[in-house]
Copies of this chain bind each other. A is one copy, B any other.
Amino acid sequence: MTGWLRVIGLGPGAAGLRTPEADAALAEATDILGYGPYVGRVKARPGQRRHETDNRQELDRARHALFLAEEGARVAVVSSGDAGVFAMASAVFEAVEAGPAEWRALDIAVLPGISAMFAAAARLGAPLGHDFCAISLSDNLKPWELVEQRLTAAAGAGFVIALYNPISKARPWQLGRAFALLREVLPGTAPVAFATAVSRPEERLVLTTIAEADPESADMRTLVLVGSAGSRLIARGEGERPWLYAPRSARP
């Protein structure tokens, strides 16, 4: 048997947002590896081995996957959203670069998925319809000063900002600090959206402004979108959330 490794983006959760390409690879895999809740989204199949690991063991999981593929297994490493966006694909390539030369000859492919930021944007309207950026607020692997530098540069240049990894028990203050920093650069009316578990039963959307944004509206499953001075809201009927979008045209 010739082994392979597929790094698979499962999309935000709903089956209708998972690609046929991802489904096909999952059906052929002998081994599924990933953070427990993500592996739990994959239908169990007879004879298929499931390796559920903790959220923080990305590099160990990547090495494990490469060992299995080298031995001939068909290995699926699963991430939520898109595997290339603050997810497992980078960890796999870090492991390849640092690992034995044979790993560079393995049959590896990354299968893209619907990212959390685009799923959230679609629900809200079209807030990423113009220039935008994505920043992880985790300071596990980069200094906090770099996060601040990037937030300031992005908001100052008028990018709409998607914040990944906004908050967790281990990182309780970062989102509040980010909002405080962004308030110095953006008008207080700039919209902020908290999009939690989009497309899953527990989906929750909160739309507010940077002046009013409360870090408590976010948890580990939340994608936070921070609009720019150019972001637009379209009021709808009573009880309906306004549409949020970025016009195609922009002024400095």
Q: Residues on A close to B: CB < 8 A? A: 7, 9, 11, 14-21, 24, 58, 82-87, 89-94, 96-97, 104-105, 108-115, 118-119, 121-123, 125-136, 141-143, 145-146, 149-150, 153-154, 156-159, 232, 234-237, 243, 245-252
Contact = CB atoms under 8 A, between A and B. Distances in A.
Contacts of A158: 146, 150
A33 B50 CA distance: 43
A198 B105 CA distance: 22
B134 A131 contact: yes
Given A93-B243, A133-B159, A84 B115 contact: no
B94 A248 contact: yes
A142 B126 CA distance: 18
A129 B81 CA distance: 13
A90 B150 contact: no
- Listed from nearest, the 4 A-B pairs whose CB atoms lie closest are A90-B129, A133-B133, A16-B21, A89-B126
Contacts of A154: 133, 153-154, 157, 159
Given A20-B20, A21-B14, A251-B146, A125 B157 contact: no
Contacts of A7: 126
Given A85-B128, A105-B236, A143-B251, 13 more contacts: A9-B118, A16-B19, A16-B20, A17-B20, A19-B114, A84-B126, A86-B129, A93-B129, A94-B248, A110-B121, A128-B134, A143-B252, A150-B157
Given A132-B134, A153-B154, A90 B245 contact: yes
Nearest to A120: B112
11 contacts: A17-B20, A85-B128, A89-B125, A89-B126, A93-B125, A110-B121, A128-B134, A131-B136, A133-B133, A146-B251, A153-B156
